[in-house]
């Protein structure tokens, strides 16, 4: 893939062309909206991203990169894909050209002359043997993209090994081809993080039972290997069973921050910045979503998720309800694994060390986020609710067969952290 300055990719939102990405160098590209978007929307309107409001001028590479690089995988996954595509891993344009046919949200980035696939796109059926092979080969072929599986053109952010698939009503899996919309993610157990399937299943179900909207997930087994099946909240089923995309962007994209800077210590989003962003959207449910961000931070603190960074919160552009906080995802207790980074990805107040987070830190957060004096009472009430739900969920996991010892370690950690906030621990 030789970099050609001036080469363009068409950017679609749903099935509408909205602009182009233009290569400006080996690792640089810029974005501009087309005339139709500029004529239909006022200057400053949010169409693709909060960080890319509608305007006449193009967005230079420094402004375009956070959103579009945010569509691509990170770390070793991105490196491996770039190697297989014979591209530089820093060449976001080349990676989007190859993989951008099905991205997070309702975005497709395609070579000129191509159109995005709809819910009637082609699906390659996978037998259980096929599925097990793809899972086994994920380290070499991230996202299930390998030389034998031509036609797989999809991208999803993050560093975790996963397959991006479609699951039919009868429970069979398939690979979407040529940009057909995917509907689910399959995350296998990882030898470096024992029992991570039960770990994440516990976190997501705990969020839901405690009153937070979270991605729907269920543990499953593929040829003896535990996996977590996660439904994509940026997909929905419409008339005739057709799959439709729902637009979304993570908080780094919305705030114009490149993925490599996703941690607050590196200049990434803070809780206060996300709260302000929600206020600035003008959404009628912004006040509710702001409290949900605080409750999500509390949940992550209690379960020991120190990796809750800006890319793990998102905005969902709900066609019926407007912009809102997306369901929570990637709720994993990192602190139950030896050698994990203890520092919080987003500080509570000014406190980065979770062992030093006490109620004063939440009071400080309340002031910096403009929430006010009611925050300590909210934290106390929600901590009690989360603990009660966790207690019940431990028993549910045992009854349903997905409980593992890691769940008990998470619950013990939750009790310790509740004590830091002055709460009496509960036992199962």
Positions annotated as catalytic residues are 307
Please answer whether residues 182 and 271 qualify as being in contact, where contact means their C-beta atoms are separated by less than 8 angstroms.
no
Output the CA–CA distances (angstroms, integers) from residue 351 to 13, 119, 222, 324, in the order listed: 39, 46, 41, 27
Spatial separation of the C-alpha atoms in residues 115 and 118, rounded to whole Å: 9
Cα end-to-end distance, the chain, whole Å: 57
Q: For residues 191 and 173, what is the distance between their CA atoms, to the nearest angstrom? A: 24
Nearest to 409 by CA among 332, 348, 352: 332
Residue in the block written with tokens 């709720």 = 331
> Helix (H, G, I), strand (E, B), or coil: what is residue 22?
strand
d(Cα 43, Cα 56) in Å, to the nearest integer? 8
User: CA-CA distance, 203 to 210, in Å (whole number)?
Assistant: 11
DSSP conformation class of 88: -
Q: How far apart are CA 99 and CA 142, in angstroms?
A: 12
Q: 212-226: buried (b, 16+ CB within 10 Å) or exposed (e) per residue?
A: bbbbebebeebeeeb
Phi, psi dihedrals of residue 181, rounded to the nearest 5°:
-65, 130
Distances, alpha carbon 329 to alpha carbons 185, 200, 204, 311, in Å? 12, 9, 7, 10
Find where tokens 């989003």 sit. 269
415-420: long-range contacts, CB 8 A cutoff, minimum separation 24: 415/387, 417/301, 417/302, 417/304, 417/354, 417/357, 418/302, 418/383, 418/387, 420/355, 420/357, 420/358
Beta strands of 128-181 (E only): which ranges?
163-167, 173-176
Of 19, 2, 4, the C-alpha closest to 109 is 19
């Amino acid at each position: 893939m030789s970099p050609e300055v001036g080469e363009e990719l068409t950017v679609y939102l749903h099935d509408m062309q909205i602009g182009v990405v233009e290569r400006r160098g080996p690792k640089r590209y810029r974005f501009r909206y087309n005339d139709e978007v500029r004529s239909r929307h006022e200057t400053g309107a949010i169409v693709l991203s909060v960080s890319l409001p509608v305007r006449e001028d193009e967005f230079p590479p420094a402004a375009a990169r956070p959103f579009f690089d945010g569509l691509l995988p990170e770390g070793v996954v991105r490196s491996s894909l770039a190697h297989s595509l014979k591209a530089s891993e820093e060449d976001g344009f080349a990676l989007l050209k190859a993989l951008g046919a099905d991205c997070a949200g309702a975005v497709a980035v395609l070579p000129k002359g191509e159109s995005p696939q709809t819910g009637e796109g082609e699906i390659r059926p996978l037998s259980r043997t096929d599925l097990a092979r793809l899972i086994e080969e994920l380290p070499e072929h991230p996202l299930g993209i390998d030389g034998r599986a031509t036609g797989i053109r999809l991208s999803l952010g993050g560093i975790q090994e996963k397959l991006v698939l479609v699951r039919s009503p009868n429970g069979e899996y398939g690979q979407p081809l040529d940009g057909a919309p995917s509907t689910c993610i399959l995350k296998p157990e990882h030898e470096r993080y024992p029992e991570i399937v039960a770990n994440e299943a516990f976190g997501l179900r705990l969020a839901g039972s405690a009153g937070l909207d979270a991605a729907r997930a269920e543990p499953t087994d593929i040829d003896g290997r535990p996996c977590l099946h996660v439904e994509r909240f940026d997909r929905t089923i419409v008339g005739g069973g057709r799959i439709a995309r729902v637009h979304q962007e993570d908080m780094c994209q919305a705030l114009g921050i490149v993925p490599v800077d996703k941690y607050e210590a590196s200049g990434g989003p803070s809780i206060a910045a996300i709260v302000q962003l929600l206020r600035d959207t003008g959404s009628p449910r912004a006040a509710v979503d702001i409290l949900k961000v605080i409750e999500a931070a509390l949940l992550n603190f209690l379960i020991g998720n120190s990796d809750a960074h800006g890319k793990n919160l998102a905005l969902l552009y709900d066609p019926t309800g407007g912009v809102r906080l997306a369901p929570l995802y990637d709720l994993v207790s990192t602190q139950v694994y030896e050698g994990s980074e203890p520092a919080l990805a987003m500080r509570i107040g000014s406190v980065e060390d979770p062992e030093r987070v006490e109620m004063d830190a939440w009071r400080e957060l309340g002031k910096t986020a403009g929430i006010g004096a009611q925050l300590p009472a909210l934290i106390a009430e929600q901590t009690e609710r989360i603990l009660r739900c966790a207690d019940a969920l431990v028993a549910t996991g045992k009854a349903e067969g997905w409980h593992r010892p890691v769940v008990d370690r998470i619950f013990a950690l939750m009790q310790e952290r509740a004590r830091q906030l002055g709460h009496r621990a509960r036992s199962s």
